[in-house]
Amino acid sequence: MTTARHDRGDSWHGELLDLDAYLERLGHTGERAPNLACLRALHRAHTTSIPFENVSAVLGVPLPLDVESVQDKLVRRARGGYCYEHVTLFAAALEKLGFRFTAHTGRVSLGADKILPATHALLTVTPSDDDRTWLCDVGFGGGPLEPVELADGAEAEADGWRFRMERRPDAQGFEHWWLHQYGAGGWLDRHTFTLTPQYPIDYEVGSHFVGTHPRSPFVKRLIAQRFSAARHHQIDGLTWSTTLPDGTRTEQKIEPEDLQRVLREEFGIDLDPGVVSRLTAARSDAP
């Protein structure tokens, strides 16, 4: 008689991940161990191999976060996804490799002076050979290339991309962490988060808002990103921007008839012509 496994809701179901296929998608041929060197290699490979995109949300297509669905989309079909999909996939891989980690949600700020919803997914990880905890932010779309140490004032630089951590209490003394990124205008706060643990069900709730709520920018227009050591490409609607590690930024408009080619050649996102037509005709210019 087989006893069904009781899922308490805190598992990321790494046992369901096809680890070989995931690592092949990343081009990772190095060691498979829960240590810092492997974590750095996986983080860099994930952020530079799997693009960020919200095509399904714009088209009103369901965005399930179970491991099978996420790996089918991001690994087998070589598509991209937004933060909840990226982090769910990365968490399953870390769990299968034996890493100790905690999931969190953050508030994207980008210099805003108001409180924005906590809709960003991220992880903190403690490798087996290192007592420090590291922020892994593989789902933002714009780096960092490698983990950033979770320590007040810690700075990380990789291939010219610079990030800094800050620990800041709020008015009630509750501890908040801030990730800053260095660009053309100096340091900019990118997002803030607390160390309150989150679980798969929490990500399902957050993803439902991001992927379906009419006030979410992710249902209004195409957003795609491709990050590498050399540059960060981003499409917002039909505007294509490229940012270099020093913050230098260029911008150009994409003609609707060129969108399919640009997504395929520059972002690694291969979509059917009919899907691209729906993206450009329906919501590419939504506010």
Residues serving a catalytic function are 83, 120, 137
How would you label 98-129 residue by residue, b for 16+ Cβ within 10 Å and e otherwise? ebebbbbbbbbbeeeeeeeebbbbbbbbbbee
Identity of residue 264: R
Task: Tell me which H or E stretch contains 47.
Answer: helix 36-49
- Cβ-contact 102, 139 below 8 angstroms: no
Tokens coding 183 = 């660009």
Cis peptide before 62 (omega within 30 of 0): no
Q: How many residues does the chain have?
A: 287
C-alpha dihedral over 270, 281, 243, 38, to 10 degrees?
-40
How far is Cα 259 from Cα 269, in angstroms, rounded to an integer? 11
